[in-house]
């Protein structure tokens, strides 16, 4: 997995498009997820706020309507307390009054944290000293909180399961602002659960479609841009490795590929001793007089035509490059010296057997070729090229238009395939 992502860090247009697509995908998923959380939170926050508003209103209504039944005179004025004689009547009336407002439970506390009334009669008279939310209410503040109850009794004393309820604490204040107790009302908001889920789902679908459209258009634009970038990079790469005149590999790329090939065959030779590399160094005979006599345009034409013929004379997987000036380098992988010499003669004949059309006239042209075989264990291409250059010098010295070779570093140069005719005539 690590190597996969490392490979995608390669700054190619294809990988760039992949990374941008992954960023877009992660962004879409993140936006949808965070939006869902946000909508869910905002929606339920609004539900809680609405439940709190209703609870405050109900508290005020109860205070006005039932003041005589749960406000009793005390040592310091009015205090919260239910008239025992009217308890059953008050209890029944409150249950009937609160049911349409989706209230499933109510508690009333005095200022000492004691429950003086509850629709759950079993907890009346108990104290709740550790309830921080109750303390906030007794300090004069409303406090609402959403909870999910596994089960609880409603006003009709029926058990309900898996309920969402908003618990709201509302302070009981006298007209002078003094807090003498608190209401705790449980409002059933379970029905909003499906509404919220439905709203979140619809929002996700709409937002998802919008993002697919936006990112889809962006992807098309990025794809066009990366395709153009890929073409530009390919063109730049070709410019970096190709000779601008002949279109074949330039010197640097030829030597680079030659070194790679030498390293490869060296590894194979260490295993089976059957792999080898033959190097041909080709030089156009009497090229300078062509430039001097016919001009550089004619010289450029000859170089391009020689390159074209060399390409046709070698195998598809052989390496052909312009070594410099009128010199060319041909590397023959998986070839021995005998086959290399045959390939060299084929190259020589491809040039010598057909004259060149220069300024409307046919002019014969020849090449001299130096051949060598990379020694087993040879790691530096320069050593092999030096031997090929010596073989080329021998071919020139022996009269040109021929193939000479140095078999290995210790061998003596020899000459093969002489061509007595076809020398280029000059005035020099």
pLDDT by residue (tens digit) across 18-70? 888 888 888 888 888 888 888 888 887 888 888 888 888 888 888 788 777 77
Mean pLDDT of 368-382: 87
Q: What integer pLDDT is reported at residue 386 of this predicted model?
A: 93
For range 160-176, the mean pLDDT: 89
- pLDDT at res. 9: 53
**How far is C-alpha 170 from the chain's CA centre?**
53
The whole-angstrom separation of Cα 179 and Cα 112 is 11
- Per-residue pLDDT band at 10 (split at 50, 70, 90): low
Q: Is a pLDDT exceeding 50 seen at residue 178?
A: yes
Helices and strands, counts by H and E, the chain: 11, 15
Please return the burial class of 408, using the count of CB atoms within 10 Å of its CB with bins 0-12, 13-18 and 19+.
Answer: middle
CA end-to-end span of the chain:
69
The predicted pLDDT at position 269 comes to 56
Distances in whole angstroms, Cα of residue 77 to Cα of each of 22, 74, 83, 171, 174: 70, 5, 16, 17, 10
Residue 235, judged by CB atoms within 10 A of its CB (0-12, 13-18, 19+), counts as exposed
Q: What is the pLDDT of residue 423?
A: 27
Residue 420 DSSP class: -
**The domain 242-416 belongs to what CATH superfamily?**
Reverse transcriptase/Diguanylate cyclase domain (3.30.70.270)
Q: What is the mean pLDDT of residues 178-184?
A: 91
- Nearest CA to 51 out of 156, 158, 145 is that of 145
**pLDDT above 80 (res 133):** yes
Token reading at 160: 């309900």
Comparing 387 with 218, the larger pLDDT belongs to 387
Instruction: Give the pLDDT mean for 69-83.
Output: 79
Query: Which DSSP helix (H) or strand (E) runs through 349?
Result: helix 337-352
Long-range contacts of 410-419 (CB under 8 A, 24+ apart): 416/341, 416/345, 417/341, 417/344, 417/345, 417/348, 419/348, 419/352, 419/366
Beta strands in 119-176 (DSSP E): 143-153, 159-173
More confident residue, 368 or 21: 368
Segment 367-396 mean pLDDT: 91
- Residue 420: pLDDT above 90? no
Average pLDDT, the chain: 85
| pLDDT, tens digit, 9 for 90 and up, residues 79-117 | 888 877 778 888 888 888 888 888 899 999 999 999 999
| Angstrom distance (rounded) from CA 403 to CA 349 | 11
Answer yes or no: is pLDDT of 195 > 90: no
Residue 192 has pLDDT above 50, yes or no: yes
Residue 285 φ/ψ, nearest 5 degrees: -75, 140
Q: What is the pLDDT of residue 23?
A: 86
pLDDT at 1: 46
**Residues contacting 336, CB < 8 A, separation 6+:** 276, 278, 373
Q: Which two tokens stand for residue 415?
A: 């000459």
Class of 42-196 per CATH? Answer: alpha beta
pTM of the complete model: 0.55
Position 342 scores a pLDDT of 95
**How confident is the model over 212-232, as a mean pLDDT?**
86
Instruction: Please enumerate in sequence order all residues whose Cβ is within 8 A of that of 212, keeping only pairs 6 or more positions apart, or say none.
Output: 28
Give the integer Cα–Cα distance in Å for 329 and 300: 18
Per-residue pLDDT of 294-344, as tens digits, reads: 999 999 999 999 999 999 999 999 999 999 999 999 999 988 899 999 999
Q: In the prediction, which pLDDT does 416 show?
A: 44
Q: Quickly state the pLDDT bin for 250 (edges 50, 70, 90).
A: very high
Q: What is the mean pLDDT of residues 247-263?
A: 92
Q: How far is CA 386 from the centre of its chain?
A: 48
DSSP code for 119 = S
CB 366 within 8 A of CB 401: yes
Laid out side by side, the sheet with 403-406 consists of 319-324, 327-333, 277-284, 367-373, 403-406, 414-416
Coil, helix or strand for 223?
A: helix
Residue 76, pLDDT > 80, answer: no
d(CA 187, CA 50): 10
- How many other CB atoms sit within 10 Å of the CB of residue 313? 19
The CA distance from 264 to 379, in Å, is 10
Beta bridge partners of 281: 329, 370
């Amino acid at each position: 997995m690590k190597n996969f992502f490392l490979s995608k860090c390669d700054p190619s247009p294809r990988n760039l498009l992949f990374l941008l697509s992954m960023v877009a995908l992660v962004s879409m998923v993140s936006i949808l997820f965070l939006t869902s959380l946000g909508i869910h939170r905002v929606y339920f926050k609004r539900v809680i706020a609405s439940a709190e508003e209703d609870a405050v209103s109900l508290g005020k209504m109860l205070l006005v309507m039932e003041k005589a039944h749960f406000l009793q005179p005390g040592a310091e004025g009015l205090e919260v307390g239910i008239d025992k004689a009217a308890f059953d009547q008050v209890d029944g009336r409150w249950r009937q009054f609160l049911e349409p407002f989706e209230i499933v439970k109510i508690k009333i506390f005095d200022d000492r944290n004691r429950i003086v009334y509850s629709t759950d009669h079993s907890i009346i008279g108990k104290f709740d000293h550790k309830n921080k939310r109750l303390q906030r209410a007794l300090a004069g503040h409303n406090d609402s909180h959403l909870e999910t109850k596994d089960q609880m009794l409603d006003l009709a004393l029926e058990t309900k399961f898996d309920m969402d309820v908003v618990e709201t604490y509302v302070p009981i204040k006298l007209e002078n602002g003094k807090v003498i107790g608190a209401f705790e009302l449980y409002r059933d908001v379970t029905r909003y659960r499906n509404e919220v889920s439905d709203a979140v789902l619809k929002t996700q679908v709409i937002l998802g479609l919008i993002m697919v459209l936006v990112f889809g258009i962006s992807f098309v634009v990025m794809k066009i841009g990366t395709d153009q970038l890929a073409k530009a990079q390919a063109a730049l790469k070709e410019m970096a490795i190709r000779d601008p005149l002949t279109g074949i590999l330039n010197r640097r790329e030829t030597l680079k590929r030659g070194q790679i090939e030498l390293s490869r065959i060296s590894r194979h030779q260490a295993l089976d001793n059957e792999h080898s590399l033959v190097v041909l160094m080709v030089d156009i005979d009497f090229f300078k007089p062509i430039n001097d006599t016919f001009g550089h345009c004619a010289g450029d034409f000859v170089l391009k035509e020689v390159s074209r013929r060399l390409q046709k004379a070698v195998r598809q997987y052989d390496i052909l490059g312009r070594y410099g000036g009128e010199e060319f380098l041909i590397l023959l992988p998986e070839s021995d010296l005998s086959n290399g010499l045959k390939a060299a003669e084929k190259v020589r004949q491809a040039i010598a057997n057909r004259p060149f059309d220069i300024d409307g006239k046919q002019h014969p042209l020849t090449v001299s070729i130096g051949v060598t075989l990379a020694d087993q264990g040879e790691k530096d291409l320069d050593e092999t090229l030096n031997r090929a250059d010596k073989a080329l010098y021998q071919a020139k010295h022996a009269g040109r238009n021929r193939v000479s070779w140095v078999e290995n570093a210790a061998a003596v140069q020899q000459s093969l395939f002489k061509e007595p005719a076809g020398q280029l005539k000059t005035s020099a």
